[in-house]
Amino acid sequence: MTTTGILLLAILILGFLITFQIAKASEYVSVLKGEKKAFEQNNRINAFLMVVFLVLGLIGVWWCNKALYPKTLMPYPAASEHGKNIDTMLMITIAITGIVFLITQILLFWFAYKYQHSEKRQAFFYPHNNKLEVLWTTVPAIALCILVGFGLFYWFRMTGEAPADAMQVEITGKQFGWIYRYPGKDGEFGKKYYRNIDEATGNQLGLIWRDTTIIKKDRHNNPVGEAKLKADPQGFDDLVDNTAMYLVKGKAVKLIINSRDVIHDVGLSHFRLKMDAVPGTPTTMWFTPQYTTDEMKKITNNPKFEYEISCDQMCGNSHYAMRGIIKVVTPEEFILWKAKQKPAYALAFPETVATLAQPAAPVADSAASTQRHP
């Protein structure tokens, strides 16, 4: 918080304390002067205002829900199988907490009105009741345990083993964007080494395209030896993209999530999922898209609709701009899109790839040549 913010907060707190103290002092002065009638009148007014606040507050809650609910994602179906379960759990939670909220708030303000100060009423001192304490402790505890249990169940499902035929996509966060990687024809990701990251040559992830020498260092950062990393051919056909992540409707996808610098968070609000992206510690989750992007455009009645990836972890000055796009397409569209992509290695070293692609020069058959030309 800035110095200006702290100063404004201090002024607001000081103003509240001054107003409160003036009100209390005025009340005490009225009592000391014997202005009993004024005190009783103020008491009735305050009790009435409690009821007014209750009614206006409930109307405000209803109005806010009516005005803002259509602007949320809740009117539209979750775009993943897991998301449907998350929505169900969320609605149950909202229903339980909403009912408790209404009951407690109505009782709170109604009691303030009904049991306002009166000389005809004597306060009843009720120090302890074991049955009530057990009731209001165990019932909420059981309800919360059930809700937490469902949450853990769904959490372990989406972070557990993905189906054997699930496609794999690696998503790496960086300040301030996302990098998507798909395995090539071999179906395997190539190995990475963070010291190989070089934006200038197009190696955004540090793929091991060349033999690499690693300088080993001790805890004091002094060189103590060398190690060799051999080039990994499995990384030569990996597809790396920054524009959008392409997924297939109805096909499970396992996301392998990394970070290149600080902690990020892959937020998939349309799919009702999220997962931290931690430097040096890959995390995973999987889901099955239920609707293509074109289908969601019709469902939301928004021709500009796009599935989004947000960073749900404050990661720096431009955190707000860390927005990614997901394209959910049909299997045929995905095959066509993938066929148009070039591996990152081919984009970084087009000359090398062109040389390897050229057929070898034919070797003349010396015996045949001798027979034709004696």
Angstrom distance (rounded) from CA 350 to CA 344: 10
What does the pLDDT read at residue 277? 96
DSSP secondary structure letters along 316-358: STTGGG-EEEEEEE-HHHHHHHHHH---HHHHH-HHHHHHHHS
Model confidence at 276, pLDDT cuts 50, 70, 90, reads very high
- Both tokens assigned to 321: 């701009």
Contact of 178 with 309, CB cutoff 8 Å: yes
Location of structure tokens 């304390």? 17
Model confidence at 177, pLDDT cuts 50, 70, 90, reads very high
Identify the residue with better confidence: 250 or 39.
250
CA 24, distance to chain mean position in Å, is 47
Dump pLDDT digits (tens) for 298-324: 999 999 999 999 999 999 999 999 999
Host H or E run for residue 83: helix 81-114
Angstrom distance (rounded) from CA 82 to CA 255: 14
Pairing of strands 212-217, 273-277: unpaired
Identify the residue with better confidence: 21 or 152.
152
Contact of 201 with 347, CB cutoff 8 Å: no
CA 137, distance to chain mean position in Å, is 32
Identify the residue with better confidence: 118 or 188.
188
What does the pLDDT read at residue 41? 74
Whole-angstrom CA distances from 231 to 212, 226, 234 are 7, 16, 9
Answer whether residue 264 shows pLDDT above 70. yes
What does the pLDDT read at residue 1? 60
Mean pLDDT over 24-34 rounds to: 66
* Domains in the chain: boundaries: 167-206+233-349
Contact of 245 with 171, CB cutoff 8 Å: yes
Lowest mean pLDDT among 29-33, 45-49, 89-93, 172-176: 29-33
Pairing of strands 283-287, 223-229: unpaired
Q: Which amino acid is at 7?
A: L
Give me the residues paired with residue 278 across strands. Answer: 281
Answer whether residue 3 shows pLDDT above 80. no
Lowest mean pLDDT among 65-69, 176-180, 210-214: 210-214
Angstrom distance (rounded) from CA 181 to CA 194: 15
Report the sign of the C-alpha dihedral through residues 182, 184, 188, 193, in that order: negative
Answer whether residue 85 shows pLDDT above 60. yes
Neighbours of 172 (CB within 10 A): 24
Give me the residues paired with residue 329 across strands. Answer: 248
Angstrom distance (rounded) from CA 129 to CA 110: 23
Identify the residue with better confidence: 129 or 272.
272
Pairing of strands 273-277, 283-287: unpaired
Q: What is the pTM of this model?
A: 0.76
Contact of 245 with 180, CB cutoff 8 Å: yes
Mean pLDDT over 179-191 rounds to: 93
Domain 167-206+233-349, CATH 2.60.40.10 — does that match? no
Model confidence at 95, pLDDT cuts 50, 70, 90, reads very high
Mean pLDDT over 347-369 rounds to: 59
Lowest mean pLDDT among 182-196, 239-253, 360-374: 360-374
pLDDT more than 90, % of the chain: 57
Report the sign of the C-alpha dihedral through residues 174, 178, 183, 188, in that order: positive
Contact of 117 with 58, CB cutoff 8 Å: no
Model confidence at 374, pLDDT cuts 50, 70, 90, reads very low
Dump pLDDT digits (tens) for 209-229: 988 887 777 788 887 777 888
Dump pLDDT digits (tens) for 8-17: 788 888 887 8
Report the sign of the C-alpha dihedral through residues 50, 56, 57, 59, in that order: positive
Identify the residue with better confidence: 111 or 352.
111
What does the pLDDT read at residue 365? 47
